[in-house]
Structure 1
């Protein structure tokens, strides 16, 4: 595997996902200045998306936090949206599953996602075990990656939201 190319792609994807949820293509500025869920509600939804993944995995899957819940600025002026919004995300390790089952577990999750209202945004299989999906109703993103060492990494992130649920609050 070409590690620099893989990580460059992963970084580009992370940037696209963190900005990509800030406004749908063609969405008006007015639509992005309307009330949203607040960051606590976004954190709850991130957790719900993660719990759905875990429920779809075989028995024995356990989550290990990588950094805990993260709130980051979502104010890149190139997205056309207003400043002061945030995106909420969490990254975790999935432990307790045999490494030799990673491909089957990735397939299992892709089936779960496509059956439960997610669209595949990026699928790098078979070269890399990396899949990113977006929920069609709430625009939350979920990603699964398998490291070179065989560890499963799970991430979920919100679209851009106002911290208190409304602009200027």
Structure 2
């Protein structure tokens, strides 16, 4: 069973994405896709959550998409991450899985020929919500 906390899972997601991006030529500028941030319920255990992050790969010429795809695949394979799917000819999509922790990895391809890197955690136990601070007790007014 996975023992990551939410915070640890987010740090691992960020590490996987940034380590991948750092190997790419040309080097992309990462732009967070805000809709990827909220946690989702784990399908196999509703008491747990799945965390995800997606980043647009900015400043990459669209003519370099297939070269970026090959670089991502090569880096993941070199890192010991099995490739689970590829997009095929003229489709830069690549999916993989980090080992030994089983985070799902993806190079996605969106409308407009834009690429993004994504990583998704396995199911993790949500961090406990922070309890609101209890206001100090107000002394009762004196009785007359």
Listed one character per residue, the Cα deviations across residues 20-42 of structure 1 (whole Å, up to 9, x for unaligned) are xxxxxxxxxxxx4xx61111110
**Residues 136/64 of structure 1: CA separation in 2 closer, same or farther (3 Å cut):** same
Q: Counterparts of 2:70 and 2:26 in 1: how far apart (Å)?
A: 16
Instruction: State the TM-score, normalized to the length of structure 2.
Output: 0.80
Pick one of 1, 10, 16 that aligns with 1:49. Answer: 16
Instruction: State the TM-score, normalized to the length of structure 1.
Output: 0.69
Is 1:65–1:91's contact at 8 Å kept on the other side of the alignment? yes
**4+ aligned runs moved over 2 Å, structure 1:** none
- Which residue is 2:57 aligned to? 94
Displacement after TM superposition at 1:110 (Å): 0.2
134-143 or 146-155, which deviates more: 146-155
- 1:120 matched to 2:83? The reply is yes
Is 2:49–2:125's contact at 8 Å kept on the other side of the alignment? yes
Displacement after TM superposition at 1:104 (Å): 0.7
Displacement after TM superposition at 1:70 (Å): 2.8
Q: Map of 1:6-155 to 2, 5 A cutoff?
A: 32=1, 36-67=3-34, 69-74=37-42, 76=43, 79=44, 82-126=45-89, 128-155=91-118
Q: How many residues align?
A: 127
More helix by percentage: 1
**Residues 60/113 of structure 1: CA separation in 2 closer, same or farther (3 Å cut):** closer
Is 2:21–2:27's contact at 8 Å kept on the other side of the alignment? no
Q: Counterparts of 1:40 and 1:155 in 2: how far apart (Å)?
A: 17
Q: Counterparts of 2:19 and 2:115 in 1: how far apart (Å)?
A: 16
RMSD (Å) for aligned C-alpha atoms: 1.8
120-129 or 85-94, which deviates more: 120-129
Describe the SS at the equivalent of 1:70. Answer: coil
